[in-house]
Amino acid sequence: MAHGGTQAALAGHATHAGHHHEPQSFWRRYIFSTDHKIIAIQYLLTSLVMAAVGGFLAMLMRVQLGWPGRQWPLLEALMPNAFKGGRMDPDFYYGAVTMHGTIMVFFFLTTALSGGFANFLIPLQIGARDMAFPVLNMISYWLFPVAIVFALASFFVQGGAPGSGWTAYPPLSDREPLGQTLWLISVFILMLAFLAGGINYITTTLNLRTKGMSMSRLPLTVWTLFVTALVGLFAFPALMAAALMLIFDRVGGTHFFDPAGGGDPILWQHLFWFFGHPEVYIVILPAMGIVSEVLATHARKPVFGYRYMVGSTLAIAGLSFIVWGHHMFASGMSPTLGSMFMATTLAIAIPSAVKTFNWLATIYRSKMRFTTAALYAVGFVSLFITGGLTGIILGNPSTDLYFHDTYFVVGHFHFIMGAAALFGVFAGLYHWFPKMFGRMMNERLGKIHFWLTFLGIYGTFFPMHFLGTAGMPRRIYSWEAYQFLGDVATLNHIISISAFVLGAAQLIFAFNLFYSMFRGPKAERNPWQANTLEWWAPSPPPHGNWDEAEPVVYRWPYEYSPKYAPEGVDHIPQWLPEPAVATAGRDGAGAR
């Protein structure tokens, strides 16, 4: 933040009086708003609340796994039903497992990234005034709380929350009590919300770009959010179909999946993972876009290999639809089929590696400003590498048959999806907070938050790989009952303590977020001296985003430290007419 207010002056766009916005009531302005930025903030804040709920459930799970069988009188006093007689109730434990996974994947990561950041960034970064369908956008958000109500209600109905995990495999999910039906309805509504949102993101990106904003000049965030919406458009309907059939099974007495009536539970697995694998990319692709953007801005270097970044995004999105079988290696599929799924799975490693090397090349020999956002972006790269390597181990059917449904898988996906996507969210929040709220977050608190989170993540999820190699199954309530697991007690203590540190660190973030929202120092237009269009708008941008006319775009978004620039200029924003100092014929667009 110390880097002067000059960029605001360079943007030099005095706020014009004479705006013709009718005064709006509080309800129209903040609750039933059609402004993409308000909807973005609604999505973000709601999903952060859900992250807190999901995180709380995780802490309870770690209480049980760290010290199985121990009595917790304090927790009993707080939650008498969950801790009957001081011990965690097994049914509650499995409900917590299911709801933790569901909440984190659907209600936090997907909604924060594809609801929050997509809404905030797409119109601003392409120079539009709003989404193509603002009312549909509002409906998309309001379906989300409806889905939350259905999901959380399952805790309070007869039989409690479903215990079949976020994958809801039948026959267990065919038998569970009422909560499972509520879960299915909730997921169905949420998919509707995502589809409504996705249609907006795709049509807006394709149709509402401002002058000069060609597809080859889109910021990588917009690229990834756009491709993510496409992935969702193709993936969500599969789960919606599966959910409808399971609801039919449960309330209509049909037997699509229930083996007791001749149904086939493996069919559910196919449908679920045809959706489920693309879904994991739905959370990681936007995080990749955010990280690319944040790294380039704070490293003051152009993103390395822009075209390859776009190409690998498309490749990952396409491949993600033909790998679903790697979640079913242990379901008795034919070895031939298994090998085919192995081949497609390992093929994803190639575009993933392209991205990783490009990030490293972007950081390499840069003058990185280690802001909190930059730290989170670098942390993301570290987590992505660790999780990607264990993915390759699991992608081989021969090793996966051993690791399947052990804590090794839990370690893998928490690194690559849980933690990496979480880091993407944090990088984005610290980076765009000034634009969202017109105030700066506290960097000192941010850095403390980063380091505790980073160490907490490694401390929590790295040892899980060893639990997996020791044979500890996932979704287990009382591992101490198995003799061969006797020596994992120490690891489980370490993991639980790390998890509590990780959880506590988030309180620092929550404080920083809400304090800075109201009390933080006022932000300039462009505090990070970034090149993308949103930094041309006032902080926070008004309804309609641009004061008088949409900006015009002259070059790609990563013109950092260009050699041809005059002394003291280390970035040339997209909205600035091309300076003649540029070497003749040199066009800012494209890769370099």
438 contacts which partner out of Cu ion, ligand HEM, other proteins, none, CB within 5 to 8 A by kind?
Answer: none
72 contacts which partner out of Cu ion, ligand HEM, other proteins, none, CB within 5 to 8 A by kind?
Answer: none
Choose which of 146, 152, 392, 517 interacts with ligand HEM (CB under 6 A).
392
Choose which of 100, 217, 270, 277 interacts with Cu ion (CB under 5 A).
277
Over its C-alpha atoms, the chain yields an Rg (Å, rounded) of 24
Give the separation between CA 186 and CA 239, rounded to whole angstroms.
Answer: 12
Residues 283-322 that bind ligand HEM (CB under 6 A): 283-284
Q: Is 270 an interacting residue with respect to ligand HEM (CB under 6 A)?
A: no
Beta strand ranges found along 340-421 (DSSP E): none
Stretch binding other proteins (CB under 8 A), from 278-286, 382-390, 419-427, 575-583: 575-583
Residues 507-546 that bind other proteins (CB under 8 A): 536, 544-546
Give the separation between CA 408 and CA 400, rounded to whole angstroms.
Answer: 10
494 contacts which partner out of other proteins, ligand HEM, Cu ion, none, CB within 5 to 8 A by kind?
Answer: none
User: Peptide bond before 171: cis, by omega within 30 degrees of 0?
Assistant: yes
Q: Is 268 an interacting residue with respect to ligand HEM (CB under 6 A)?
A: no
> What x/- string results for residues 162 through 201 when contact with ligand HEM is judged by CB under 6 A?
-----x----------------------------------
Give the separation between CA 345 and CA 386, rounded to whole angstroms.
Answer: 17
Stretch binding ligand HEM (CB under 6 A), from 217-225, 244-252, 360-368, 406-414: 406-414
Give the separation between CA 32 and CA 27, rounded to whole angstroms.
Answer: 6
Residues 190-209 that bind other proteins (CB under 8 A): 195, 198-199, 202-204, 206-209
Pick between residue 83 and residue 324 the one whose CB is nearest to other proteins: 324
- Ramachandran class of 86: left when φ > 0, alpha when ψ lies in -120 to 50, beta otherwise: left
User: Nearest distance from residue 362's CB to ligand HEM, in Å?
Assistant: 20
Q: Sign (positive/negative) of CA torsion 522, 528, 531, 534?
A: negative
579 contacts which partner out of ligand HEM, other proteins, Cu ion, none, CB within 5 to 8 A by kind?
Answer: other proteins
202 contacts which partner out of other proteins, ligand HEM, Cu ion, none, CB within 5 to 8 A by kind?
Answer: other proteins
Which token pair is 530?
A: 């970034």
Tracing tokens 């591992």 back to the chain, one arrives at 479
143 contacts which partner out of Cu ion, other proteins, ligand HEM, none, CB within 5 to 8 A by kind?
Answer: none
Q: Is 562 an interacting residue with respect to other proteins (CB under 8 A)?
A: no
At residue 561, the 3 state secondary structure works out as: coil
User: Nearest distance from residue 562's CB to other proteins, in Å?
Assistant: 11
284 contacts which partner out of Cu ion, ligand HEM, other proteins, none, CB within 5 to 8 A by kind?
Answer: ligand HEM
**Is the Cβ–Cβ distance between 216 and 246 less than 8 Å?**
no
CA atoms within 13 A on the CB side of 107: 32
391 contacts which partner out of other proteins, Cu ion, ligand HEM, none, CB within 5 to 8 A by kind?
Answer: ligand HEM
Pick between residue 17 and residue 549 the one whose CB is nearest to other proteins: 549
Q: Is 549 an interacting residue with respect to other proteins (CB under 8 A)?
A: yes
Choose which of 62, 217, 298, 326 interacts with ligand HEM (CB under 6 A).
326
Q: Is 216 an interacting residue with respect to other proteins (CB under 8 A)?
A: yes
Could you please report the per-residue DSSP string of 273-307? Answer: HHHHHHHHHHHHHHHHHHHHHHHHHHHTSPPTTHH
Cα angle 92, 93, 96; round to 5: 85
Judge residue 205's burial from the number of C-beta atoms within 10 Å of its C-beta, 0-12 exposed, 13-18 middle, 19 or more buried. buried
Q: How many CB atoms lie within 10 A of CB 30?
A: 13
Choose which of 76, 86, 87, 134 interacts with other proteins (CB under 8 A).
134
Closest CA to 44 of 112, 143, 142: 112
Choose which of 298, 404, 431, 435 interacts with ligand HEM (CB under 6 A).
404
Give the separation between CA 360 and CA 112, rounded to whole angstroms.
Answer: 26
**Is the Cβ–Cβ distance between 73 and 86 less than 8 Å?**
yes
404 contacts which partner out of ligand HEM, other proteins, Cu ion, none, CB within 5 to 8 A by kind?
Answer: ligand HEM
Pick between residue 132 and residue 354 the one whose CB is nearest to ligand HEM: 354
First-last CA distance in the chain: 29
Q: Is 252 an interacting residue with respect to other proteins (CB under 8 A)?
A: yes
Q: Is 409 an interacting residue with respect to ligand HEM (CB under 6 A)?
A: yes
**Is the Cβ–Cβ distance between 441 and 372 less than 8 Å?**
yes
- Ramachandran class of 321: left when φ > 0, alpha when ψ lies in -120 to 50, beta otherwise: alpha
Pick between residue 167 and residue 203 the one whose CB is nearest to ligand HEM: 167
Give the separation between CA 242 and CA 279, rounded to whole angstroms.
Answer: 15
Choose which of 76, 171, 254, 466 interacts with other proteins (CB under 8 A).
254
Stretch binding other proteins (CB under 8 A), from 43-51, 83-91, 474-482, 573-581: 573-581
User: Nearest distance from residue 403's CB to Cu ion, in Å?
Assistant: 14
Q: Is 7 an interacting residue with respect to other proteins (CB under 8 A)?
A: yes
68-74 LR contacts (CB < 8 Å, sep 24+): 68/477, 68/478, 68/479, 68/480, 69/478, 69/480
**Is the Cβ–Cβ distance between 536 and 11 less than 8 Å?**
yes
Stretch binding other proteins (CB under 8 A), from 63-71, 293-301, 338-346, 569-577: 569-577
Residues 338-367 that bind ligand HEM (CB under 6 A): 345, 348-349, 352
**Is the Cβ–Cβ distance between 288 and 224 less than 8 Å?**
yes
Q: Is 231 an interacting residue with respect to other proteins (CB under 8 A)?
A: no
Choose which of 18, 23, 332, 566 interacts with other proteins (CB under 8 A).
566
Q: List contacts with ligand HEM (CB under 6 A).
A: 167, 280, 283-284, 326-327, 345, 348-349, 352, 388, 391-392, 394-395, 400, 403-404, 409, 412-413, 416-417
